[in-house]
């Protein structure tokens, strides 16, 4: 499908500099731009590419001032990155218009399907489910009994929702994610074996949550594991039973959250962060990659780093000395030797 600069500008409320009738049919990175593609410039370090790119249209911020001629047609907006993201969303919608239930899919009894639903080949939808309008369930997905899925949610191939899982509207569940598997609950016995504690709760995903590929979210022992509105979880994340994650919190890959931990809203966790169980994290907390959190973080908007994690300023000052520890140890040994010799001479 092709779009003109004028059509794109109207969609993102931008102003045009150049030919409003130039046409694009695809998108590209500005440094790899080709004719009839659309790019954007948001990061200043990519500015040199705007003078050499072959992209036909480039979205730029309103404050961009070129110091050389630019051959591409420019569309000026308040925020180039957000505008480009909006266009990609529209582009994706055009690419994935699917409706209908495949004859090779299974839909259980007393399950209600909304309008314009898509259920792909070999997908399984259990009994007494509620599937909203425009939901897309791709091939080989599993939706257990009594699940609910809100309008416009996308369940990609191979995703698994255990029985009773509740998913809000506008969510995205990527391939291989598992929502509602048993929490890791075992009671130690006198014979040194472990007795499994039944996990009878559910998982609730509120609206506009995105779950990455192969991420797992455990059902609660009792009650619910709760992922609130707007949360974004990367690939390969483990969320344990009875965890609560506040609105608009984001986590990068390989983060692990232990059971019954409560995380505030608008937090940001880097990759491979680990959190102990039964702790609370205040709103707006930022945790650098590989941080280890063993106790509650009570200060809102704190920025921590390291394992065990400490304020990032303290960590950076301490890190100056980390690479010199061997030298410092040798100096201490030399001082000890001299001190011992002085003591003996007395």
Q: Any idea which residues carry the catalytic annotation?
A: 241
- Sign of the alpha-carbon torsion through 299, 300, 301, 303: positive
CA dihedral 117, 123, 128, 132 (to 10 degrees): -20
Separation CA 171–CA 148 (nearest Å): 12
Q: What burial letters (b/e) apply to 106-144, b meaning 16+ CB within 10 Å?
A: ebeeebebeebbbbbeebbbbeebbbbebbbbbebbbbb
Q: Which residues contact 335 (CB under 8 A, 6 or more apart)?
A: none
- Sign of the alpha-carbon torsion through 333, 339, 343, 346: positive
**Got the DSSP string for 244-302?**
EE-TT-EE-TT-EE-TT-EE-TT-EE-TT-EE-SS-EE-TT-EE-TT-EE-S-B-STT-
Burial class of residue 345 in the structure, from the number of CB atoms within 10 Å of its CB (0-12 exposed, 13-18 middle, 19+ buried): exposed
Two tokens, residue 7: 């059509």
Neighbours of 280 (CB within 10 A): 14
Beta partners for residue 331, in sequence order = none
Contact indicator for 117, 131 with CB cutoff of 8 Å: yes
- Residue identified by tokens 């509620």 is 130
């Amino acid at each position: 499908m092709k779009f003109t600069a004028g059509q794109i500008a109207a969609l993102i409320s931008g102003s045009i500099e150049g030919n409003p009738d130039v046409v694009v049919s695809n998108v590209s990175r500005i440094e790899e731009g080709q004719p009839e593609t659309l790019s954007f410039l948001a990061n200043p370090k990519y500015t040199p590419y705007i003078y050499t790119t072959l992209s036909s249209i480039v979205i730029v911020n309103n404050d961009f001032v070129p110091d050389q001629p630019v051959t591409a047609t420019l569309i000026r907006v308040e925020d180039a990155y957000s505008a480009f993201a909006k266009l990609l969303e529209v582009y994706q919608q055009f690419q994935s218009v699917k409706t209908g239930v495949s004859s090779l899919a299974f839909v259980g009894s007393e399950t209600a399907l909304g309008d314009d639903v898509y259920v792909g080949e070999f997908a399984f939808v259990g009994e007494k489910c509620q599937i909203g309008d425009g939901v897309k369930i791709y091939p080989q997905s599993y939706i257990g009994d009594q699940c609910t899925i809100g309008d416009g949610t996308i369940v990609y191939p191979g995703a698994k929702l255990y029985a009773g899982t509740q998913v809000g509207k506008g969510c995205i569940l990527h391939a291989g994610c598992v929502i509602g598997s048993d929490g890791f609950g075992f009671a130690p016995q006198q014979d040194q074996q472990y007795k499994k504690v039944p996990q009878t709760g559910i998982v609730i995903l509120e609206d506009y949550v995105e779950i990455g590929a192969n991420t797992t979210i455990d059902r609660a022992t009792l009650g619910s594991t709760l992922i609130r509105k707007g949360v974004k979880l990367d690939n390969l994340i483990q969320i344990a039973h009875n965890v609560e994650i506040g609105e608009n919190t984001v986590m990068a890959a390989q983060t692990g959250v232990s059971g019954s931990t409560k995380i505030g809203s608008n937090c940001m966790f880097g990759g491979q962060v680990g959190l102990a169980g039964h702790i609370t994290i205040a709103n707006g907390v930022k945790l650098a990659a590989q941080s280890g959190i063993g106790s509650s973080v009570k200060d809102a908007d704190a920025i921590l780093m390291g394992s065990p994690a400490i304020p990032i300023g303290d960590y950076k000052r301490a890190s100056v000395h980390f690479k010199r520890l061997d030298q410092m140890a040798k100096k201490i040994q030399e001082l000890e030797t001299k001190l011992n010799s002085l003591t003996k001479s007395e």
